Amino acid sequence: MMEPQDNIEEDDTASSSSSSSSSSSPPPRALPRQRASLQKSSVCSRSYFMVVMVFFHVYIINVIALLLYVHYNNGSNAITANRDFASRDSSHKVTGPSDPQTPADSGFPRNMYLPRIEGIRVGHVQKVSLVPGKVHEMKTLSLKPLLFEIPEFLSEEECGVVVRLAQLKGLMESQVMVPEGQEELNQQLNLSPEEIFNFLDLNQDGQLQPHEILTHSRVRDGIWLTSENLKEIYDGLKVDQDGNGLLSLEEFGRLKSDAFQRFLLQRGVERSQLVRNSRHTWLYQGQGAHQVLQDLRKRVTHLTRLPSSLVELSEPLQVVRYEQGGHYHAHHDSGPVYPETTCTHTLLAANTTSPFQTSCRYITVLFYLNNVEEGGETTFPVADNRTYEEASLIQNDVDLLDTRKHCDKGNLRVKPIKGTAVFWYNYLSDGRGWVGEQDEYSLHGGCVVTQGTKWVANNWINVDPDYQRQARYQQFVSQQQETQEQEELISELNSDQHVERHQDL
């Protein structure tokens, strides 16, 4: 770039010397300067490239900074929100979506969420630390429902302790039959026969098909009816006048709500005809309970990653024994929650009366306490199905709900192995870190025990889908505990004063 300027300076010097040597001669005519051509295109291209690269790097740096800000900001909000609602073990770090607080007039602020473990894919194994000095493997069995299996969750000694504690307390019949009260329930609901008929008529074809009647009666009466039983009842009650196996609205109107149940009770019901054939008991796991039971509850808290307050306020440990021939037909541990439904565990905080109650079991943790000689698997008939349709559960003489006859037809079966635990979510997430709709794919049952005895235990984590009810319930329990602690403290002080006075005398 300097060469053209050098040439110009040389021309100027030559012109000056020429004029000094011949001053008398007229000055020569100035020649026009010749400018060297510059390669502007090359310079502009290089400058433009440098500017673009600078802006590109600045853009990338801004994007990275923004992502880091969002990541750390959300993480800190979630952890802070969780600490505000309930105390957790300091060793347990949980992340989740932050939810803006609700207005003050809507009740308790939404400053808690329920973390969910990711299943990733079927067969995926992840390491979990549940007890000091040991790492467990947790395997994903299905994604619908979100179901996991943890071998060696309990030691052989712990399994034996739980069984012996249940035997010492005594087991009762797991009877789910409702003996009476259906007429009173219908009066409370104020439902007409037409309305009940429409509820039962799933496909709305104006006729009740056998599977529609069977599904309803099994849930309501606790008696496991088959198509053959249904025909026998129709003939005995003389309601199916045309004999086509279908009930019209007129035929259904001739029946009382408990007609099926009364007919079966008069005829006699065998144990094998019950929805559930087993014996069970409940074991308290709180302060003062056997150390194995307390340790088991702490382990469940670490496994589910839920606040300890939720686990501690849930149902006690249920221990169940299935003798040979014992079974539990396919069912859901928790029913769908509608606006008029209340949860059993938060009933005191509901401030309403409702004929509909359900257990609201957000998570089920099932423990196998012994090795079963034959049978006794836990079946998930529709696990990872593409769709769920209640009407398709009973078709072509195959009843997927029947764990005595068609347990092998289900999509997934878990073999009972001593010390193994399986757990699954009975509800979906609402997308804001709380309980959503019922996961219909969590349908499961206990296959019939064909040889030997089967011992299992259940830990259910109760969470009310209504956040405000759950918050009121926990506040109520907390206040009760504080009042009790104060009364105990006052009682101890009075006792100490009485002893001191006695000593003075």
Could you give the dihedral angle defined by the CA atoms of residues 23, 25, 29 and 30, in that order, rounded to the nearest 10 degrees?
-10
pLDDT computed for residue 15 by the predictor: 43
Q: How many CB atoms lie within 10 A of CB 448?
A: 24
pLDDT computed for residue 60 by the predictor: 78
List all residues 6 or more positions away from 479 whose beta carbon is below 8 Å from its beta carbon: none
Are 443 and 380 in contact by the 8 Å Cβ rule? The answer is: yes
Mean pLDDT of 249-255: 81
Q: Which two tokens stand for residue 302?
A: 């670490």
pLDDT computed for residue 181 by the predictor: 47
Are 308 and 209 in contact by the 8 Å Cβ rule? The answer is: no
Q: What is the rounded CA–CA span in Å between residue 100 and residue 315?
A: 30
Q: Which two tokens stand for residue 262?
A: 């009364």
Q: Which two tokens stand for residue 84?
A: 């505000």
Model confidence at 1, pLDDT cuts 50, 70, 90, reads very low
Mean pLDDT of 448-466: 97
Higher pLDDT, residue 325 or 188 = 325
pLDDT computed for residue 325 by the predictor: 95
Mean pLDDT of 449-469: 96
Among 126-130, 136-140, 344-348, 409-413, which is the least confidently predicted range? Answer: 344-348
Are 408 and 379 in contact by the 8 Å Cβ rule? The answer is: no
Closest by CA to 12, choosing from 27, 30, 36, is 30
pLDDT at 416 over 90: yes
Higher pLDDT, residue 173 or 498 = 173
b vs e for 2-21, b when ≥16 Cβ sit within 10 Å of the residue's Cβ?
eeeeeeeeeeeeeeeeeeee
Top mean pLDDT of 34-38, 139-143, 467-471 is at: 139-143
Model confidence at 219, pLDDT cuts 50, 70, 90, reads low
pTM: 0.70
pLDDT computed for residue 94 by the predictor: 41
Model confidence at 217, pLDDT cuts 50, 70, 90, reads low
Q: Which two tokens stand for residue 80?
A: 């802070």
- Kindly report, residue by residue over 178-216, the tens digit of the pLDDT: 444 445 545 544 567 787 788 777 778 888 888 777 766
Top mean pLDDT of 188-192, 306-310, 402-406, 449-453 is at: 449-453
- Kindly report, residue by residue over 143-180, the tens digit of the pLDDT: 999 999 999 999 999 999 999 999 999 999 986 554 44
List all residues 6 or more positions away from 365 whose beta carbon is below 8 Å from its beta carbon: 300, 303, 304, 421, 422, 423, 458, 459, 460, 461
pLDDT computed for residue 311 by the predictor: 96
pLDDT computed for residue 119 by the predictor: 97
Higher pLDDT, residue 48 or 26 = 48
Mean pLDDT of 284-293: 96
Mean pLDDT of 419-443: 96
Q: What is the rounded CA–CA span in Å between residue 115 and residue 94?
A: 7
pLDDT at 454 over 60: yes
Higher pLDDT, residue 423 or 24 = 423
- Kindly report, residue by residue over 52-99, the tens digit of the pLDDT: 677 777 777 876 777 666 555 544 443 333 444 444 343 333 434 444
Is the Cα dihedral 243, 249, 250, 256 positive or negative? Answer: positive
pLDDT computed for residue 255 by the predictor: 75
Mean pLDDT of 496-500: 55
pLDDT computed for residue 10 by the predictor: 41
Higher pLDDT, residue 97 or 409 = 409
Q: Which two tokens stand for residue 115?
A: 């973390």
Model confidence at 31, pLDDT cuts 50, 70, 90, reads low
3-state secondary structure of 70: helix
